[in-house]
Amino acid sequence: MDSEKSKKFVTGGETDGGITSSYATGDGVKLKVPYSFFGSIYDEAEEKAVLAAMKQDTLTMGPKTAEFQKKFAAMCGCKHALAVSNCTTGMHVAVQLFDIKAGDEVIVTPNTFIATSLVILKEGAKPVYADIDPRTYNIDPKCVEKLVTKKTKAIFVVHYAGLMVDMDPIMEIARKHNLYVLEDCAHAHNAEYKGRKAGTIGDIGVFSFHSLKNMTTCGEGGMITTNDDNFAKGAEMLRCMNLSHWSPDDKRWQFGSITKEKESKLDYWIPSHFDGTDWNGHWGNNYRMNEIQAAVGCCQVDKAEIITEKRRAIGHRLSAGLKGIKGITPVYEPEECKHVFHLYTICVEEDVLGASRDEFMRVLYQEEGIQTILHYQPTYHFAGLKKMGYQQDGLCPNAEKFFYKRQTNLPMHPRLTDNDVDTMVQGIRNAAEKVRRNK
């Protein structure tokens, strides 16, 4: 790959967002099924909602945000839903609500986007990586139990690809050791575990509405879910610069030109528009959602069940078509879970296929026109964590083998046609036969 092509790939097809905004390569390969960067469906409903929101007097954290929060909470079956600018900022709020700080440890999966660890690192705490289950690709509760120390403050789980983590043993560990549990639900809108929705089992759940996700609010956005009234109150402050209301009993009224004692009916401008205070020693930021995003979010909730069922139908059609291809492992869906197929991850079993994952991907892409991508490099292999002294070889052997040797992700979104699915299945079958023949 020459330097220009390499540059285009690394920057995501000459976009400022890099790999977070495009998978364009510019290498001239003719694709039958490209990897799409849009994970939902928009139609006239979203268009009308955007135009209506643009005509409002309030363009941020207004009536559409309140409506979106109410609808999302009802969809999840939780008490509180609080909109934020994205999933990362939502998780940062959660870290502060848990009072995680320097010297604390948080057990987390390495098989996730860097954001899940980033919010821990931002507060000076230490991510402690637990290996994954090689069948579900989710954090393995047995590995979590072994890593709990006196410094452990929380467990962060990620529902990889839309399949929920085995939550019962995670919650048992948390209760046993008095730990908080965060559910990173970026992949898991409407996913279920034993009849319970993602984001409702741990102390706090956080969702993403990035372009790729099963629901998206104009490319960015997030939502915090919780059943804890105190966490909800803290999240309201921390997502909006620690703003609070003045209390009529506050003695600082004496500094106003009109005091409480002189005026029975308070003027709206006295003593100020707002007060500001810390939350348990923490100061928040501007993590607000705007009204246009929220208006789109309301439409996405309205069609969430339809989108979910489309993804599930596509996922199950792929699984049926891939069954029996020697050396290719399709998605596993436990009986107690409702997989929502944010990703469709296939695994290449090199010892069975007789060829490496990379050899298979190369043929699948260049000769069959099916573009697949990899998720996720073990977080502790990133340069910044290497500098922190994390063990590089064998820290989480299942996660390392999964990323470097086994997995790749097929195009997966609700706009795929039956022909797209059949083309992918046949392309995978052809690629497997070709690499086997070439050996």
312 belongs to a structural domain: yes
270 belongs to a structural domain: no
At 360, which CATH number?
3.90.1150.10
Structural domain including 283 reads 44-242+279-302
pLDDT for 128-154, tens place per residue?
999 999 999 999 999 999 999 999 999
Residues 207 and 138 in one domain: yes
Whether 200 contacts 76, CB under 8 Å: yes
Residues 49 and 187 in one domain: yes
pTM listed for this prediction: 0.93
At 59, which CATH number?
3.40.640.10
Residues whose CB is less than 8 angstroms from the CB of residue 426 and which lie 6 or more positions away in sequence, other chains included: none
pLDDT-derived band at 249, boundaries 50, 70, 90: low
Residues 340 and 290 in one domain: no
pLDDT for 383-432, tens place per residue?
999 999 999 999 999 999 999 999 999 999 999 999 999 999 999 999 99
Residues 230 and 339 in one domain: no
155 belongs to a structural domain: yes
Residues 290 and 337 in one domain: no
Whether 69 contacts 83, CB under 8 Å: yes
342 belongs to a structural domain: yes
Residues 195 and 333 in one domain: no
Whether 360 contacts 354, CB under 8 Å: no
Q: Which pLDDT does position 245 carry in this prediction?
A: 76
Residues 169 and 287 in one domain: yes
Residues 75 and 212 in one domain: yes
What's the average model confidence in pLDDT over 101-105?
A: 97
Residues 183 and 297 in one domain: yes
What's the average model confidence in pLDDT over 33-47?
A: 97
Whole-number mean pLDDT of the chain?
A: 93
pLDDT for 252-290, tens place per residue?
655 555 555 555 456 667 767 788 999 999 999 999 999
Q: Which pLDDT does position 5 carry in this prediction?
A: 40
In the chain, the number of structural domains is 2
What's the average model confidence in pLDDT over 300-307?
A: 98
Residues 309 and 171 in one domain: no
262 belongs to a structural domain: no
Whether 60 contacts 67, CB under 8 Å: no
3-state secondary structure 291-325: HHHHHHHHHHHHCHHHHHHHHHHHHHHHHHHHCCC
Beta bridge partners of 197: 192
Residues whose CB is less than 8 angstroms from the CB of residue 335 and which lie 6 or more positions away in sequence, other chains included: none
265 belongs to a structural domain: no
316: its two tokens = 């199950």
Provide the 10 A C-beta neighbour count for residue 44: 8
Cα–Cα–Cα angle for 196, 198, 203, nearest 5°?
Answer: 95
Residues 291 and 214 in one domain: yes
pLDDT-derived band at 4, boundaries 50, 70, 90: very low
